[in-house]
Amino acid sequence: MKKLFCTLALAAFATVSMFAGSKVIAHRGYWATAGSAQNSRTSLRKALDLNVYGSEIDVWITTDGKLMVNHDADFNGVTLQNASYDECKNLTLKNGEKMPQLKDLLKVMKKTKSKTKLIIEIKTHSTLEANQRAVRATLKAVKKYGVENKVEYIAFSHDVCLELVRLDKQAKVAYLLGDKTPAQLHQEGIAGIDYHIDVLRKHPEWIKQAHDLGMTVNAWTVSDKAGIEEVNKAGVDYITTNEPVLAMKLTR
Ligand code: MG
């Protein structure tokens, strides 16, 4: 009964007019398929092949300024933000690939004809200084490969979001944590809310508020049929999901 109420509450705030269905973002790439692994070159390529809206990755900076692509802070006992590149370069993913650097994925983006964007999540490091280094290094790498129009940025750290928009006025940045109103973020130059489905259930009014301000709305991480249908009906622009093929079917 509670769930039904939430569903109806979300639906009541749906942007009904001209809404063509939510677009799909593959969470950590398309990895729930043979030969793939989360945050790998393969998971990016497979997402590009699907032509989904976006393929999401997570980025940490090493002590010597390299950007490693991995979700967790630690991998096989190595804490990426406290390690040198030398300590990270041979870390091996479940599918046998070496852990990629951001630049490896930017090279793939530069070459691809796919419309899929790379959604770069800059992780929350243990110091403000490391967060700011990660932002600067990420923007520099994106510029170096000339893929500014093929990437967007997300972060749980409000500081990271502010630094991104301060250093790159064109960057499309969305905030993940779920504790700020669209109005506040809009004032700060942040282009979207990218919130957990439960936050949007609690604050369904934020969907319309964001849209009225010209902001985008993304729900994460929604991988089951009922959840995908619920947020699609609610009119969110993007659904971040571990099941991109299912989400594409349900939202078209
Ligand atoms: Mg992420």
For residue range 93-111, list pLDDT tens digits in order: 999 999 999 999 999 999 9
* Separation of CA 17 and ligand 1 centre (Å): 31
- The per-residue pLDDT for 19 is 78
* Separation of CA 151 and ligand 1 centre (Å): 14
* Separation of CA 1 and ligand 1 centre (Å): 31
| CA torsion through residues 245, 250, 106, 157, sign | negative
* Separation of CA 107 and ligand 1 centre (Å): 20
- The per-residue pLDDT for 138 is 99
- The per-residue pLDDT for 6 is 62
- The per-residue pLDDT for 7 is 62
For residue range 32-69, list pLDDT tens digits in order: 999 999 999 999 999 999 999 999 999 999 999 999 99
* Separation of CA 172 and ligand 1 centre (Å): 16
* Separation of CA 121 and ligand 1 centre (Å): 5
Report residues of the chain scoring pLDDT below 50.
Answer: 15
> Burial of 236 by CB count in 10 Å (0-12 exposed, 13-18 middle, 19+ buried)?
buried
* Separation of CA 69 and ligand 1 centre (Å): 10
CA atoms within 13 A on the CB side of 26: 32
